[in-house]
């Protein structure tokens, strides 16, 4: 980023906020339709009964939980990039941190919907809130689902605050470069930020603590999600490795999604100068790492299942790999652990197309990982007489499409109306770059 200047950075970013084209609005409309479609499916489900989905006995959890875990996973890399890498002073995070955080916030919102969609009596969901009440009916804080409630809501709150805090200086920048209504809005949003050194003094410190707190949080959140399964006794669920394994998996999928989002964004908004190839390459490298961890986890599960000589454990893992859902299993293995290995090759790592394609594969693979874990385990647990199979229905698919539409809808709206790349942090990096002379 040699020939970059503050002005250039500002320009590039502010250009993205110029009035949108018809293509853009068409896309937005399309996504809105998809969203409403999902909503319609949900309403239908509420009136007819959850049975319109494919869940049954024994597989009482279906795509709703799969998508929940999937979206929470997507959310994670955002925080990883903005928080953990911030602590490690990894400069390459700055160009993509904003978009990643945005992704996090919206992904958590999307994920947060699914537990409701999943409920048999969604209208009774407030039973899960610890609100004081006359008959002292309280939720059960021993339940993994309550951990979810606490963790996810915390995560949503924290990541949004973190995100907004990061936006603050940029909001001011936009404010100072706009007129009319937008100026008014951004004036309020930027809370009168004027970049006084006095403000910066606290800001930098606070931001650091944000990062320091978000890091353990992000780990805990997906651990908690994993415990929705691991705390049970179901073979294939009840295993100690789940927490770290899910965290790694979450970041794996999240990073893939970052690439999936960044590569078009970079192209459309011509961010090439800011989001350089090195940045993407670094993301790719991180993907290799997470991919290896996930692979390690797969391997460990099988090894221990065999080592334990517990017939039930062995049976379930055999069935995963060779049984009714074996296709899903092999999609998961290939997409999540084999394909990412391609990134060891520098050529591929530095080819936009390859990166994009691979990122798509990983997204698919991670969706199927959740499918395999959630479905196969309960489909054949302890009592053979009660075994059964599951396949999603149209309604479930509709809701799933709706969730994707919702996510992209929000994201598309954001990138066009807010600075999708952090100007401040990139300027900062520029400054440091000069001082360090590298």
Partner 1 sequence: MLSLKNKRLVILGIALIAIGFLAFIIQVAGSHPERAWQAYLINFLLWSAIAQGGLLFSVIMHLTKAKWCGPLTNVSEVFAAFFPISFALFLILFLGKAHVFPWQHMDLHGKEVWLNVPFLFFRDGVALLILYGLGFTYLFYALQLKAIGAATGGRLRSFLDQKMGINPDVTRIHQRMSIFSVLYALAFAGVLSLIGYDLVMALDPHWISTLFGAYQFVKAFYVGLGGMIILASALYLTQGDSTGLTTTHFHNLGKLFFAFCLLWADFFYVQLVVIWYGNIPEETAYVIERTMVPPWNFLAWVVFIVAFVLPFFILLNKNVKTKPKFMMVLSAVILVGIWLEHLLLVGPALSHGSRSLPLGLWDGLITLGFLGLMIFAVVYFLDEFPELKRFQPAVEKR
Partner 2 sequence: MKRRNFLKLASIGSLSFAASACTSEPDKTIFSLVQAPADMVTGSPTWYASTCRECPAGCGIIAKNREGRVIKVEGNPLHPINRGKLCIRGQAVVQGIYNPDRIKSPLLKKNDQWQPISFSQARSLIQEKAIQAAQSGSDKARMITELVGDSQLALFIHCLEKLNSKGPIAFEPLAYETLKTANREAFGIDGLPSYLMDKADCLVSLGADFLETWLSPVEYAWRFKAMHAVRTEAQGVFFHISPYQSLTGANADRWIACHPGREAAIVMGLIKATLEKGRGIGLPQSLIQSLRDASERYTTQATARMADIDPKDFESLKIRVLKAKTPLILGTGAGTASGAFQADLAANMLNLILDSDLTLFDFDRRHRVEGSARRSEVIEFFNSLSTDGVRLLLINNVNPAYALPPGSGIRKSLDSDRMFVVSFSNFMDDTTALADLIFPVCLPLESWDEYSGKNGMVSTLQPAMGRFTQAPHVGDLMLDVAFKDDRSVPDYKTWVMTQLHSKGVMREKNEWLKALQAGGVFPDVSPSVTRPRPVTGATSLFEPVDDTTGLFEPVDDTIERDPAKPVFIAVPSIRFFDGRGANRPWLGEIPDPLTKVAWQTPVLGHPESLKAAGAGHGEVVTIQTQQGQVEAIAYETRQVKPGVWVMGMGQGHIHFGRYAANVGINPLTLLPPKIDNMTGGPVFSTAVVALSATGDSKPLAHTDGSRIQHDRKIALSIPLDQMSANHDEKSAHEPSLTMEGFPFTLPLPEGYDPKRDFYPPHDHENYRWAMAVDLDKCIGCAACTAACYAENNIGIVEKDRIVEGREMTWLRVERYHDPENPEKITFFPMMCQHCDNAPCEPVCPVYAPHHSKEGLNNQIYNRCIGTRFCSQNCPYKVRRFNWFEWEWPDPMNLQLNPDVTVRSKGVMEKCSFCIQRIKVAHGVAKNEKREIKDGEVVPACVQTCPTGALTFGNLMDVNSRVRMLTQDVRAYQAMGYLNTKPAVIYLKKVVQKT
Partner 3 sequence: MGPECQVMGLFTDEERAASAVQALEETPWQLKQVHSPIPSHKLSEALNLKKSKVGYFTLVGGIIGFFSGFALAMFTAAKWSLIVGGKPVIALVPFVIVGFEFTILFAVFGNVIGLLIQGGLPDFKGMEIYDPRCSGDHFGVLAACPEIEKGQLINYFKEKGGVTRVFES
Site residues, partner 1 (CB under 8 A): 88-90, 216, 219, 223, 227, 230-233, 238-244, 292, 296, 300-301, 304, 307-310
Residue among 371, 279, 381 nearest 326 (CA) = 371
Distance CA 268, CA 372 (A): 36
Tokens of 290: 């997470």
User: Interacting stretch for partner 3, rule CB under 8 A, among 30-38, 142-150, 286-294, 398-406?
Assistant: 142-150
Selected binder of partner 2 within 37, 139, 244, 433 (CB under 8 A): 139
Closest CA to 249 of 354, 343, 367: 367
Report the candidate in 77, 73, 106 with the shortest Cα–Cα distance to residue 93: 77
Helix-helix angle 197-230:63-79, to 10 degrees: 150
> Tokens representing 91?
């400069």
Stretch that binds partner 2, among 134-142, 207-215, 275-283, 395-403 (CB under 8 A): 134-142
CB of 93 to partner 2, least distance (A): 36
From partner 3, partner 1, partner 2, none, interface partner of 239 (C-beta below 5 to 8 A by class)? partner 1
Phi, psi of 129 (to 5 degrees): -90, 135
Chain position carrying tokens 């798509």: 360
Residues 178-197 that bind partner 3 (CB under 8 A): 187, 191-197
Name the residue nearer to partner 3 (CB basis): 185 or 360.
185
* Main-chain dihedrals φ then ψ at residue 387, nearest 5 degrees: -60, 155
Going from the C-alpha of 48 to that of each of 111, 119, 251, the distances in angstroms are 23, 13, 37
Which alpha helices (H) appear in 242-276, and where do they start and end?
Answer: 242-268
Question: By rule CB under 8 A, what string of x and - marks binding of each residue 298-337 to partner 2?
Answer: ------------xxx--x----------------------
Q: Using only the alpha carbons of the chain, give its radius of gyration.
A: 23
Q: Which does 404 bind (CB under 5 to 8 A by kind): partner 2, partner 1, partner 3, none?
A: none
| Interface positions with partner 2 (CB under 8 A) | 48-51, 54-61, 118-121, 124-125, 127-128, 137-140, 142-146, 149, 228, 231-234, 310-312, 315, 378, 380-389
The footprint of partner 3 (CB under 8 A) covers 5-7, 10, 130, 136-142, 146-147, 150-151, 154, 157-158, 161-162, 165, 169, 172-173, 175-177, 187, 191-206, 209-210, 213, 216-217, 220, 224, 227, 424, 427-428, 431, 435
């Amino acid at each position: 980023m040699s020939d970059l200047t503050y002005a250039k950075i500002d320009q590039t970013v502010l250009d993205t906020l110029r009035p949108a084209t018809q293509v853009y609005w068409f896309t937005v409309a399309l996504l809105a339709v998809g969203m409403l479609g999902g909503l319609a499916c949900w309403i239908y489900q509420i009136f007819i009964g959850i049975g319109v989905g494919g869940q049954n006995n024994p597989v009482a959890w279906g795509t709703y939980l799969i998508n929940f875990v999937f979206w929470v996973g997507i959310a994670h890399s955002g925080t990883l990039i903005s928080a953990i890498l911030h602590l490690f002073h990894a400069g390459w995070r700055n160009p993509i941190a904003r978009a990643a955080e945005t992704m996090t916030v919206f992904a958590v919102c999307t994920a947060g919907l699914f537990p409701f969609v999943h409920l048999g009596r969604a209208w009774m969901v407030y039973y899960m809130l610890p609100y004081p009440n006359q008959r002292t009916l309280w939720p059960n804080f021993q339940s993994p689902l309550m951990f979810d409630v606490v963790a996810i809501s915390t995560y949503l709150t924290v990541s949004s605050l973190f995100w907004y805090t990061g936006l603050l200086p940029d909001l001011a920048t936009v404010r100072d470069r706009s007129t009319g209504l937008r100026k008014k809005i951004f004036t309020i949003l930027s809370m009168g930020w004027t970049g006084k050194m006095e403000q910066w003094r606290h800001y930098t410190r606070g931001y650091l603590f944000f990062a320091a707190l978000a890091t353990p949080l992000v780990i805990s959140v997906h651990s908690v999600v994993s415990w929705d399964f691991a705390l049970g006794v179901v073979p294939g669920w009840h295993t100690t490795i789940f927490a770290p394994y899910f965290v790694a998996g979450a970041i794996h999928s999240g990073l893939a999604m970052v690439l999936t989002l960044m590569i078009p964004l970079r192209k459309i908004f011509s961010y090439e100068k800011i989001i350089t190839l090195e940045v993407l390459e670094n993301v790719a490298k991180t993907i290799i790492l997470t991919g290896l961890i996930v692979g390690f986890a797969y391997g460990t599960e099988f090894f221990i299942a065999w080592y334990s000589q517990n017939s039930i454990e062995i049976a379930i893992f055999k069935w995963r790999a060779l049984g009714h859902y074996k296709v899903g299993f092999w999609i998961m293995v290939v997409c999540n652990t084999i394909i990412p290995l391609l990134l060891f090759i520098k050529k591929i790592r530095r080819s936009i197309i390859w990166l994009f394609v691979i990122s798509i594969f990983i997204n698919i693979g991670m969706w199927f990982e959740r499918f395999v874990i959630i479905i196969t385990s309960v489909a054949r647990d302890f009592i053979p007489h009660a075994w059964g199979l599951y396949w999603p229905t149209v309604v479930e698919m509709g809701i799933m499409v709706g969730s994707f539409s919702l996510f992209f809808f929000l994201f598309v709206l954001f990138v066009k109306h807010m600075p999708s790349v952090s100007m401040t942090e990139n300027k900062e990096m520029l400054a440091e770059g000069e001082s360090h002379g590298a």
